[in-house]
């Protein structure tokens, strides 16, 4: 379109393609980083796993005390940090490389392992089952704004808690074709899940090029690393499996009551993992993580809805970008026991903040009851919220088409834009609500006065009734089952 | 080559205003029955548009393009339709009452009615009561539509209804009112026949009321 302004190419223009959001300045990030290095040099972190202790000892740089405390010099940390990739592209079992983890690319997904579920028929809270995980997987497979899947619930109806992870992964695969983040019991469990994923991807090397999943692993704050977590981390390092080592400190209880203090401590926890993996085998895709929030001082609840979670998570993302590490963050979660106004408010705040901050994998979307209860309705509601949040992230174009001076001229005072070509061509950029109601009162009234909860419930049922994910072929199913059966056999001895 | 009315319907659904207009002319030149062109070409297309709009597959900008195409086709056909056929398509007079300069809602309703095949006489905005009365006498419409966005101008609608009664033409037309502060109750109070809550439902209710 020809410009009708005399000079549309002025000099010295700075244009924002998207909104800009930052919590910390570079100076503040450096303060936190240097403090974390200091923690590792002076205080150290305790490691309850022999192979890792041996790796640290034989580095001739780290110092291991008799109480299993490991202290690491800054030089070793900085060498380790240089070895981690800045980009990992995940591929679902549908073959799509749909999650490109790199700076400021944001993807949303569920959390995992919720012990309870509201039964949709009885409304009662009960233990989560295999079928609940399949249902959550199908919902996430369908919902357009979910990019990756964690199990949402933990399968409670399995033969042996020591092998639950294989069954859970099977339930996830059954219902969902998107990339995943998986939890596992221990190193052996992770190995089985990895073998299961490799069946779809045609082997170890292919998995490394486009991994199907990221392994979720967490330390115990403050500054403690248990055996199974370290085992998983070392296995991931050996095989080049992407993994996040994600501290879950509660400010005021397992971390300082100041956000900066919590960030220092959790960064020290991450950096120790970075060194450990480097000593095992340099170059695995290590992802930085953190569910950084406060402990509620009335109830002792680890809060998923606190505004401090949003603020601290955004700050952590700032740090991750400065360190050139991919970031696993948190949003779309709530302390509310029910999918109600509180759940909507808390979810929206953390989703918007996480999105604007540019975190790469935003997980725990749909958590209610402070990470204890699973709700399919919450997933459906959050999908709409993410749609709105992504719209805010689109930013504003100020080119000729965006400024629309020609159109304003053509329509003129008192005219209308609704039938103009410019409207026809541009309005589809808008967010299109699927659950938010914008009808007039009469229509709303005549259609049964449905609240958001009603509409979310209807939509959840509709998806469950209609969505069938792309099936897994028989040969692969059989091979998956063999891996699971072998694990059962080993553990029944 | 015979004009394909199914294709005409598809072009109308796609909002190709000029194509529909040209194709209607071709159909006329080929001597097709105007009533058949209307029903199997234009109206068949608009019926699909209506369904898709309700199913959230088409939206206002697309619907209005199709409506414009319908209207363009109707402009060609109307002179050829018999008086009873033209009458059957329906006529509407519409305007915004005195003191109100808000135009867009009323125009949306007008465009949607054109899309339904109505001949629409759009009187404009800020209209004296007498303008409505004169228009009803002159055009003998099936429907009179009035809109107001302001609570201060709403009562003007009642004045128009009363003036139509005094002029003895109230019963020859169905009266429809709408606008953000207007309600079904208000419509009843002032003696109107139909309350249109939004552009699409106004067309549905209007067609139902006049049997088109």
What confidence score (pLDDT) does residue A198 get? 97
The domain boundary residue, chosen from B61, B86, B111: B86
Those residues of chain B whose CB sits closer than 8 Å to some CB in chain A are 15, 59-62, 64-65, 68, 101, 103-104, 107-108, 111, 183-184, 195, 197-198, 201
Q: Are A59 and A107 found together in one domain?
A: no
Contact B202, B210 (CB under 8 A): no
Interface predicted TM-score of the whole assembly (ipTM), two decimals: 0.85
**Number of separate domains in chain A:** 3
Q: Are B126 and B68 found together in one domain?
A: no
CB contact under 8 A, A427 and B59: yes
Find chain B residues with C-beta within 8 A of A423's C-beta: 61
- Tell how strand A69-71 and strand A63-64 pair up: antiparallel
Q: Are A34 and A122 found together in one domain?
A: no
What confidence score (pLDDT) does residue A425 get? 95
What confidence score (pLDDT) does residue A7 get? 59
CB contact under 8 A, B61 and A419: yes
Q: Are A65 and A100 found together in one domain?
A: no
Strands (E), A255-321: 286-288, 293-294
Q: Are A164 and A274 found together in one domain?
A: yes
CB contact under 8 A, B201 and A414: no
Q: Are B76 and B178 found together in one domain?
A: no
Q: Are B74 and B102 found together in one domain?
A: no
What confidence score (pLDDT) does residue A185 get? 95
Find chain A residues with C-beta within 8 A of B68's C-beta: 419
Q: Which residue of B has its CA nearest to A425?
A: B61
* Within a domain: A477: no
Mutation choice for A interface testing from B61, B65, B106 by most A CBs within 10 A: B61
Q: Are A378 and A259 found together in one domain?
A: yes
Q: Are A115 and A36 found together in one domain?
A: no
Q: Which residue of B has its CA nearest to A443?
A: B197
Instruction: Supply the CATH number for residue A237's domain.
Output: 3.20.20.480
What confidence score (pLDDT) does residue B36 get? 92
CB contact under 8 A, A443 and B198: yes
What confidence score (pLDDT) does residue B81 get? 85
Measured between CB atoms, does A439 come within 8 Å of chain B?
yes
Q: Are B72 and B125 found together in one domain?
A: no
Alpha-carbon distances of A324 from A20, A360, B179, rounded to whole Å: 18, 12, 56
Which two tokens mark A246?
């994600």
The domain boundary residue, chosen from B34, B62, B86: B86
Its domain, for residue A150, covers 88-393
The domain boundary residue, chosen from B53, B86, B119: B86
Q: Are B68 and B139 found together in one domain?
A: no
| Burial bucket for residue A463 (CB in 10 Å: 0-12, 13-18, 19+) | buried
What confidence score (pLDDT) does residue A241 get? 97
- Across A80-101, b (16+ Cβ under 10 Å) vs e yields bbeebbeebebbbbeeeebbeb
Could you list the mean pLDDT of each consecutive 10-residue stretch along chain B, which spans 212 residues?
88 96 95 92 93 92 94 91 77 93 90 91 95 96 93 93 97 94 94 93 91 78
Q: Point out the residues of chain A with pLDDT beneath 70.
A: 1-8
Window A:366-425, CB contacts with B under 8 Å: 414, 416, 418-419, 423-424
CA distance B64 to chain A (A): 7
**3-state DSSP assignment of residue B91:** strand
Its domain, for residue B152, covers 90-210
Q: Are B66 and B165 found together in one domain?
A: no
Q: Are A146 and A45 found together in one domain?
A: no
Q: Are A204 and A351 found together in one domain?
A: yes
In angstroms, the CA A452 to CA A290 distance is 31
**pTM for the model:** 0.92
CB contact under 8 A, A440 and B198: yes
Contact A438, B197 (CB under 8 A): no
Backbone angles phi, psi at A44, to 5 degrees: 80, -175
């Amino acid at each position: 379109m020809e410009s009708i302004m005399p000079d549309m190419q002025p000099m010295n223009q700075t244009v924002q393609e998207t909104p800009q959001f930052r919590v910390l300045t570079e100076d503040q990030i450096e303060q936190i980083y240097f403090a974390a290095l200091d923690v590792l040099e002076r205080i150290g972190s305790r490691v309850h796993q022999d192979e890792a202790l041996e790796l640290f000892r034989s580095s001739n740089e780290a110092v291991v005390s008799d109480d299993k405390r490991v202290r690491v010099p800054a030089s070793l940390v900085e060498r380790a940090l240089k070895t981690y990739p800045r980009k990992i592209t995940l591929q679902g079992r549908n073959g799509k490389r749909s999650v490109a983890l790199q700076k400021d690319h944001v993807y949303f997904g569920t959390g995992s392992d919720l012990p309870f579920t509201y039964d949709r028929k009885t409304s009662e809270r009960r233990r989560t089952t295999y079928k609940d995980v399949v249902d959550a997987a199908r919902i996430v497979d369908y919902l357009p704004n979910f990019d990756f899947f964690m199990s949402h619930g933990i399968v409670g109806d399995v033969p042996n808690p020591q092998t639950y992870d294989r069954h859970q992964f099977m339930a996830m695969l059954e219902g969902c074709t998107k990339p995943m983040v998986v939890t596992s019991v221990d190193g052996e469990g992770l190995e089985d899940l990895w073998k299961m994923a490799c069946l779809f991807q045609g082997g170890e090397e292919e998995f490394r090029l486009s991994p199907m999943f990221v392994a979720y692993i967490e330390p115990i704050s403050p500054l403690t690393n248990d055996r199974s977590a370290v085992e998983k981390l070392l296995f991931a390092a050996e095989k080049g499996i992407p993994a996040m080592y994600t501290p879950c400190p509660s400010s005021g209880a397992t971390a300082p009551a100041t956000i900066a203090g919590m960030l220092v401590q959790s960064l020290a926890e991450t950096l120790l993992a970075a060194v450990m993996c480097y000593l095992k085998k340099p170059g695995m895709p290590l992802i930085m993580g953190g569910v950084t929030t406060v402990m509620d001082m009335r109830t002792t609840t680890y809060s998923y809805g606190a505004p401090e979670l949003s603020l601290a998570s955004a700050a952590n993302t700032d740090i991750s970008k400065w360190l050139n590490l991919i970031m696993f963050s948190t949003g779309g979660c709530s302390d509310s026991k029910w999918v109600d106004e509180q759940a909507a408010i808390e979810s929206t705040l953390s989703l918007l903040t996480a999105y604007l901050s540019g975190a790469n994998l935003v997980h725990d979307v749909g958590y209610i009851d402070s990470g204890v209860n699973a709700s399919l309705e919450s997933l459906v509601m959050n999908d709409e919220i993410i749609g709105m949040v992504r719209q805010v992230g689109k930013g504003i174009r100020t080119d000729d088409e965006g400024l629309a001076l020609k159109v304003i001229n053509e329509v003129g005072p008192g005219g209308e834009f609704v039938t103009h070509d410019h409207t026809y061509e541009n309005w589809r950029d808008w967010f299109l609500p699927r659950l938010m109601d914008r009808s007039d009162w009469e229509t709303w009234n005549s259609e049964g006065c449905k609240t958001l909860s009603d509409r979310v419930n209807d939509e959840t049922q509709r998806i469950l009734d209609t969505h069938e994910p792309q099936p897994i072929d028989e040969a692969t199913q059989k091979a998956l089952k063999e891996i699971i059966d072998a694990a059962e056999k080993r553990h029944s001895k | 080559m015979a004009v394909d009315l199914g294709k005409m319907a598809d072009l109308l659904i796609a909002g190709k205003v000029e194509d529909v207009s040209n194709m209607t002319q071709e159909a006329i030149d080929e001597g097709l029955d105007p009533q058949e062109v209307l029903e199997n070409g234009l109206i068949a297309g608009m019926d699909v548009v209506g369904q898709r709009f309700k199913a959230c597959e088409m939206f206002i900008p697309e619907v209005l393009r199709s409506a414009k195409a319908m209207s363009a086709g109707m402009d060609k056909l109307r002179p050829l339709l018999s008086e009873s056929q033209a009458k059957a398509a329906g006529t509407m007079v519409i305007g915004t009452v005195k003191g109100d300069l808000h135009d867009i809602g009323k125009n949306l309703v007008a465009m949607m009615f054109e899309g339904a095949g109505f001949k629409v006489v759009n009187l404009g905005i800020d209209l004296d009561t007498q303008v409505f009365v004169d228009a009803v006498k002159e055009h003998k419409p099936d429907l009179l539509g009035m809109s107001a966005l302001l609570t201060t101008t709403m009562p003007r609608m009642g004045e128009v209804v009363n003036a139509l009664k005094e002029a003895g033409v109230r019963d020859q037309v169905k009266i429809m009112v709408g606008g953000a502060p207007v309600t079904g109750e208000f419509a009843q109070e002032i003696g109107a026949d139909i309350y249109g809550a939004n552009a699409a439902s106004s067309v549905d209710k209007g067609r139902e009321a006049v049997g088109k």
